[in-house]
């Protein structure tokens, strides 16, 4: 297949499908765009959790137990920082820290985040292009039902997603430019599909889709936009997506996710456990692929990637 794929990813779940895609496509057939709305500055360092999770996963140095940080991570830095009275609520491993320090050093030298990411990926042997969604600062803010507004990492890590959410804002999004190469890949005549990985719709995917020009480019392209459900059997595999859906008054179902995306996508990948929702989702005007979407093993990641690519391929064939 010569057509090109753009994958949009948040953290762990998105990284799993990104890895599957990277293993079944040539590096020049794929680009992965990662959410940077979770990024923040902490202890003087720029931390990009989703970008790092995808990068570490593609480089096979990710910590599979934790879902973040590097394999073989140790905590000497954090232990010493605690003794010095420093802020330790954000768990920075000794190896992970090197990424944040090197990134911050390169950013301070004047490089843009996309160039820095390319440099880090090259060092780690990652061949697939990995783009931050933007080089500009976009910061996801979480509105809570108590009336407090929290920065994303305060909500997510410090407060362990305990506050009940009422909505989100992506501060800075109006003036943020999609990273170099992002729009041109969406307008590429050889674009085969945009694949929205099974990531949190509200805080991982929506920021990417909300960037100026992204939705327009996707809508002007003949390539389908396909979302893979992050909800299976009424549960999120990882993270607070299901809790957020409940707090936002949405049904905690794959159909709820499909409805959230409905105006912005063409197809939806539904887990076979949720097959009873197929017609409900098709009624939204979406084509539906029903398949196994739970990715436990490396083979699962590749199998889902192949299934989604097959879905896309059939689409093209039907359209021609």
Name the residues that contact a second copy, by CB under 8 A: 43-45, 70, 72-74, 76-81, 83-87, 93-99, 101-102, 104-105, 108, 119-120, 123-124
For a second copy, give the closer residue by CB, 77 or 143.
77
Cα–Cα dist 160/175, whole Å? 30
- Minimum distance, C-beta of residue 27 to a second copy, in the bound complex (Å): 20
Complete DSSP assignment for 38-82: T-EEETTEEE-HHHHHHHHHHTT-B-TTTSSSBTT---HHHHHHH
Residue 217 CB, nearest distance to a second copy (Å)?
32
DSSP character at residue 183: H
- 260: CB partners within 8 A, 6+ apart: 201, 250
The residues with which 289 forms a beta bridge, in sequence order, are 269
CB of 110 to a second copy, least distance (A): 13
Rounded distance, CA 268 to CA 287, Å?
Answer: 6
Taking the complex as a whole, how short is the minimal distance between the CB of residue 152 and a second copy, in angstroms? 20
Q: Considering beta carbons, is residue 70 or 253 the nearer one to a second copy?
A: 70
- Nearest distance from residue 191's CB to a second copy, in Å? 31
In sign, the C-alpha dihedral spanning 265, 271, 273, 275 is: positive
CB atoms within 10 A of CB 223: 23
Give the nearer residue to a second copy in terms of CB position, either 102 or 151: 102
Confirm if 47 and 59 have CB atoms less than 8 A apart. no
Closer CB to a second copy, 104 or 149, in the complex:
104
Nearer to a second copy, 157 or 210 (CB): 157
Residue 257: CB atoms within 10 A of its CB come to 28
Instruction: Decide if 197 contacts 305 (C-beta within 8 A).
Output: no
In whole angstroms, the minimum distance from the beta carbon of 104 to a second copy comes to 6
At its nearest, how many Å lie between a second copy and the CB of residue 95? 4
* Nearer to a second copy (CB atom), residue 95 or residue 264: 95
Nearer to a second copy, 13 or 132 (CB): 132
CA nearest neighbour of 232 among 280, 175, 277:
277
């Amino acid at each position: 297949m010569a057509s090109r794929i753009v994958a949009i990813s948040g953290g762990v779940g998105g990284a799993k499908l990104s890895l599957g895609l990277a293993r079944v496509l040539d590096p020049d057939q794929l680009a992965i765009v990662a959410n940077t709305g979770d990024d923040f500055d902490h202890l003087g360092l720029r931390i990009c959790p989703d970008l790092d999770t995808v990068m570490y996963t593609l480089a096979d140095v990710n910590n599979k137990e934790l879902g973040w940080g590097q394999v073989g991570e140790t905590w000497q830095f954090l232990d010493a920082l605690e003794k010095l009275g420093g802020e330790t609520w954000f768990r920075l491993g000794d190896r992970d820290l090197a990424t944040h320090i090197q990134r911050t050093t390169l950013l301070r030298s004047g490089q843009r985040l996309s160039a820095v990411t390319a440099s880090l990926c090259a060092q780690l042997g990652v061949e697939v292009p990995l783009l931050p969604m933007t080089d500009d600062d976009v910061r996801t803010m979480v509105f809570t039902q108590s009336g407090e507004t929290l920065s994303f990492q305060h909500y997510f890590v410090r407060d362990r997603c305990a506050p009940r959410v009422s909505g989100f804002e992506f501060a800075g999004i109006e003036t943020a430019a999609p990273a170099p190469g992002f729009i041109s890949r969406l307008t590429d005549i050889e674009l085969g599909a945009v694949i929205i990985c099974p990531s949190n719709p509200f805080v991982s995917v929506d920021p990417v889709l909300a960037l100026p020009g992204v939705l327009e480019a996707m809508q002007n392209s003949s390539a389908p936009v396909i979302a893979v459900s992050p909800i299976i059997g009424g549960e999120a595999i990882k993270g607070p997506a299901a809790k957020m859906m409940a707090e936002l008054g949405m049904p905690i179902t794959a159909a709820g996710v499909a409805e959230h995306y409905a105006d912005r996508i063409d197809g939806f990948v539904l887990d076979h456990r949720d097959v009873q929702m197929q017609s409900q989702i098709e009624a939204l005007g979406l084509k539906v692929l029903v398949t196994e979407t739970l990715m436990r093993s490396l083979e699962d990641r590749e199998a889902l990637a192949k299934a989604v690519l097959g879905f896309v391929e059939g689409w093209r064939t039907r359209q021609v």
